[in-house]
Structure 1
Amino acid sequence: MPQSSTASKKPNAAGQKALVIGAGIVGVNVALALQDKGYDVTIVDRGEPGMGASFGNAGGIAVTECAPIAMPGILSNVPGWLMDPLGPLSVRWRYLPKMLPWLARFLAASSKTRVEQIATELAALLHRAWDDYDPMIAKAGLADAVFKKEGALAVYRTDASRRKDDYGIDLRRRNGINIRDVSRSEIRDLEPDLAPIFACGVMEEDWGRVLDPYKIVMGLFKLFTDRGGKFETGEVTDFVYRDGKPRAAITTSGDNITFDTVVVACGAWSKTLSKRLGSPVPLDTERGYNTTVPYHGASLSRMVICADDSFVMTPMEMGIRVGGAVELGGLVASPNYDRAKALFAKGQQVLPKLNPEGGTEWMGFRPSMPDSKPVISKSPNHQNVFFAFGHGHLGLTLAATTGRLISDLMSGAETPVNMTPYRINRF
């Protein structure tokens, strides 16, 4: 059911100062949506705009991915995964004690009852993604230049491995996702450069991709500044309170940035600030790796999901990006680029013309909640505090929808979906 606030609580946005902490794809979309409501918006970030996970992600507008990461039976797969340091899931063992509470909630979310509920709640957001993105990217002049909507092809080496995904595919179909089965010959027709090793696949019809994730962020950021939005570089560490409410953000440089309302949208770094604001949350990071290489004669016409090996290949403006997998290791440990090399080697098996010459490796932090749902929420403690983080693999996909929903919550407007499943205090 949609939610609304009473008219007596609806703020007058004109002249109100909103601070958005985080200049990634989510933060920038939140800032634009607040500008649409009439707020005077400042974005603050510890680094340059768009240089976190928004810079080097796989580029998918993954509107079909309502199935959570923790699916029924996942516990039986974990030991095998963890024995392979370069497999689809690995843990930095020194970090494991810190991860245990997150992992316990992650496994609890894999029960069939929970999975069915989570999928429905994620689908409610994902079904909005294109409708919320389209007007914003049109305003920024980005639609034709960098967005593609031609679906994604998931491929399987055997019929048996496809059948193992029956439940997940059926789950998505039951939640309104368009997925059709494709044969071996159809795979060859759709993507002739793939190795002839796939028995079958599925076409995820509504999936999209971007040609350069960084270009998306910066195009939207330019729209934000052209409208009069302000940006400051600084790492927020705490808040100044007045009359019991946070009224300014304190940065490491000693500056105080005043605000009437604040949105914490700084991805993997949101956990510390939400706790400072009285809302501890089980947020952690999935470290993702990829390699991007020039085309060198290799060709793909759409995003390809290699389901058996848990990686994706995306044709982009600068070349083909091969990435995926999950490493649980926090924010401090140095990258292990052997994981990127292992993924790329798998990519060469699938797309033989892939050539590593001129390639670049990258690692980024996916801010992830154990139930795979983002936090899109007002604070239970302060009426002028809001949260927008924890999107995991769906940050690029759900950024515009998150901005729309946060702006509705902040302005007291009716939201198009029930916001209870995404509240910060759901655990």
Structure 2
Amino acid sequence: MTHVVVIGAGIIGLAAAHHLRREGFAVTLIDRDPEGDRASHGNAGVIAVTEIVPASGPGVAWRVPGWLLDPLGPLALRPAHAPRLIPWLIRFVRAGRPREVARIAAALAALNARTYDDLLPMLAASGLAGELRRTGSLTVYESEAGFARDRPEWDLRRHHGIAFEAMGGDEARALEPALGPRVVRAVFAPQSAHVGDPRRIVEGLRAALLREGAAMIAGEVAELGVQDARALRVGLTDGRRIVPDRVVVAAGAWSGLLARRLGDPVLLESERGYNTTFPDPGLALGREIVFAERKFVATPLACGLRVGGAAEFGGLGAPPDFRRARALATLARLYLPGLPEGGGTAWAGHRPATPDSLPVIGPSARDRRIVYAFGHGHLGLTQAATTGRLVADLLCERPAPIDLRPYAVERFR
């Protein structure tokens, strides 16, 4: 039986392991803290199939300075990390050119179009079908100017088959009575969904895999290389060595370190996200609310109302600054006046972000027995099941259902 080591037990690694087990592979997952907190636990829980516009979309580069100067803004940069971020930022700006935006949107749409085809069977097989809430999402605006600025993005979504309905502020409040008078425009997207609790998804997938015979090792990978023509070599920091037949690198924001050791130059940054979860919010929402101009979301989860967003670039080693989480809660009260002061639990986690908003899915240029699956940014939960399916296709050496060239690691050369 072919033995595959999956490095990373977050949502992407677990989804890859799920599909590989169904293909008959022996699977060993390695994670520094298999049951620990991670971006897969603390995300907004959204199945964001409508999100196909890259983060560097039209006009974003010109708005960055203002965001950096705004203490309640959606973006922060640690000064000490700025020099290391320059190559990533150069590619980010390039990805905002009109032709690149169109190309990237098409690639994201190709992935997201398969989401439910791959996600629903995976949830059902793992006993998690009841976790999905297909109630759509509501994007709200506090100004006509903000709504007009985003119109090209909504037109791009329509071009790729995404349905939506624009409405006024009163119609939005009829749909979500907790919204305050600040909302003047909104867009309802029925194809979006959310889960009851992303932590339960991760824990349920892990439990199902262990029941099915997958192995789990707690450890940090220090070495990944080619042993010989028949086997690879995975070394842990504690001295343990594993010799698998295939390897999947799905270590989230830490994946770039392993790829670069193999000689694959990849531009991957930790985009630290923050949220505050209110277990007793004092109000009810029926679906995810996206606050378009302020770039954050609120999602009703089983564990409470989660208000999340923000992007902080400071590297993997910088300690979290929970003022970002408190700022999000302050912003949320502008739109949700019933939200209580205090009482929320702050959280921070590392999102793996590429400058073009596309994940890295495909073989290493060094050795095709090593497959990459990382860099999903804000769309890890949305794209996990499909990424797992594509990883299995690659290791089974069969044609993938979509063109994988846009996600190849070679694009960073």
Query: The residue matched to 1:363 in structure 2 has which SS?
Result: strand
What is the CA–CA distance in structure 2 between the aligned matches of 1:240 and 1:279, rounded to whole Å?
A: 12
Residues 86 and 338, structure 1, Cα contact 8 Å, conserved in 2 = no
- CA deviation profile, 1:96-131 (whole Å, cap 9, x unmatched): 001010001000100011001100110000000011
| Contact 2:182–2:334, Cα closer than 8 Å, also in 1 | no
**Match for 2:77 among 62, 85, 91?**
91
Matches of 1:65 and 1:246, distance apart in 2: 39
Decide whether the 8 Å contact of 2:230 with 2:245 is kept in 1: no
Aligned partner letter, 1:167:
P
Say which of 8, 15, 24 aligns to 1:22: 8
Structure 1 residue matching 2:99: 3-state secondary structure? helix
Alpha-carbon distance between aligned partners in 1 of 2:243 and 2:172, rounded to the nearest angstrom: 55
Letter in 2 for 1:148: R
Query: Is 1:213 matched up with 2:198?
Result: yes
Residue 125 of structure 1: aligned partner: 111
Q: For residues 56 and 237 of structure 1, do their structure 2 counterparts lie closer, same or farther at Cα, with a shift above 3 Å needed? A: same
Aligned with 2:320: secondary structure? coil
Q: Is the 8 A contact 1:193 1:299 kept in 2?
A: yes
Whether the aligned pair in 2 keeps the contact of 1:248 and 1:258 (CA below 8 Å) is yes
Equivalent position of 2:233 in the other structure: 248
Q: Is the 8 A contact 1:50 1:218 kept in 2?
A: no
- 1:295/1:354 contact within 8 Å kept: no
Match for residue 228 of structure 1? 213
Q: Matched residues in 2 for 1:357 and 1:77: separation? A: 30
Q: Answer whether contact 1:293 1:356 (CA < 8 A) is retained.
A: no
- CA displacement at 1:423 relative to structure 2: 0.5
Match of 1:282 among 261, 267, 271: 267
> Could you say which residue in structure 2 is the equivalent of 1:198?
183
Between 1:36-45 and 1:350-359, the stretch displaced more is 350-359
* Cα contact 1:240–1:246 (8 A) shared by 2: no
What is the count of residue pairs matched by the alignment?
412
1:105 paired to 2:91: yes
What is the CA deviation profile of residues 217-260 of structure 1, one whole-angstrom value per residue up to 9, with x for unaligned ones? 11111111111000000000113532257622111111012200
User: 1:278: how far off?
Assistant: 2.1
What is the rounded CA distance, in whole Å, between the counterparts of 1:257 and 1:46 in structure 2? Answer: 15
CA RMSD of aligned residues (A): 1.2
- Residue of structure 1 aligned with 2:165, choices 143, 156, 180: 180
Verify: 1:46 aligned to 2:32, yes or no.
yes
SS of corresponding position for 2:355: coil
In the alignment, residue 324 of structure 2 is paired with which amino acid?
A: R
1:34 corresponds to: 20
Deviations 1:261-312 (A, max 9, x none): 0000000000111112221200111111000012342111111011121110
2:77 and 2:314 in contact (8 A); partners too: yes
Whole-Å separation in 1 of the counterparts to 2:62 and 2:250: 34
Residue of structure 2 in register with 1:334 after alignment? 319
Mean alpha-carbon deviation: is it higher for 366-375 or for 289-298? 289-298
Residues 169 and 129 of structure 1: is their aligned pair in 2 closer, same or farther, counting only changes over 3 Å? same
Report if the CA contact (8 A) 1:50-1:217 is conserved: no
Q: Percent identity?
A: 46
Question: Which of 331, 335, 345 pairs up with 1:350?
Answer: 335
Quick one: distance in 1 between partners of 2:79 and 2:145?
33
SS of residue matched to 1:80: helix
- Which position in structure 2 is the counterpart of 1:73? 59
Deviations 1:15-68 (A, max 9, x none): 000000000000000001011111000000011246311010111100000100
Q: Secondary structure at the match of 1:370?
A: coil
Aligned partner of 2:100 among 114, 122, 127: 114
Is this contact kept in 2: 1:292–1:361, CA < 8 A? yes
Rounded Cα–Cα distance in structure 2 between residues aligned with 1:44 and 1:52: 15
Tell me, yes or no, if the aligned pair for 2:231 and 2:243 is still in contact at 8 Å: no
TM-superposed CA distance for 1:357, in Å, is 4.4
Residue in 2 that maps onto 1:57: 43
Unaligned runs of 5+ residues in structure 1 are: 1-14
8 Å contact from structure 1 (residues 234, 251) kept in 2: yes
- C-alpha change, 1:86 and 1:244, in structure 2 (3 Å) is farther
Aligned residues of 2:225 and 2:262 also touching (Cα < 8 A): no
Displacement of 1:358: 3.5
The one-letter amino acid of 2:382's match is T
Aligned to 1:291: 276
- Measure the CA separation in 2 of the matches of 1:242 and 1:294: 50
CA positional deviation for 1:401: 0.2
Q: Does 1:372 align with 2:372?
A: no
Residue among 236, 247, 250 paired with 1:265 = 250
Matched residue type, 2:47:
I
Match in the other structure for 1:4: none
Give the distance between the partners of 1:302 and 1:216, measured in 2 at CA.
18
Deviation at 1:354, TM superposition (A): 1.2
Greater shift after overlay, 393-402 or 73-82?
A: 73-82
Are the structure 2 counterparts of residues 419 and 50 from structure 1 closer, same or farther at C-alpha, using a change threshold of 3 Å? Answer: farther
Following the alignment from structure 1 to structure 2, what is the Cα–Cα distance between the partners of residues 122 and 319? 30
TM-score by length of 1: 0.94
Q: Give the match's secondary structure for 1:354.
A: coil
Q: Distance in 1 between matches of 2:291 and 2:281?
A: 21
Give yes or no for contact 2:281–2:305 (8 Å, CA) kept in 1.
no
Misfit runs of 4+, over 3 Å: none
**For residue 202 of structure 1, what is the amino acid of its counterpart?**
V
When normalised by structure 2's length, the TM-score is 0.97
Report if the CA contact (8 A) 1:368-1:392 is conserved. yes
> Residue 203 of structure 1 aligns to a residue in which SS?
strand
Q: Is the 2:183–2:335 contact (alpha carbons within 8 Å) kept by the matching residues of 1?
A: no
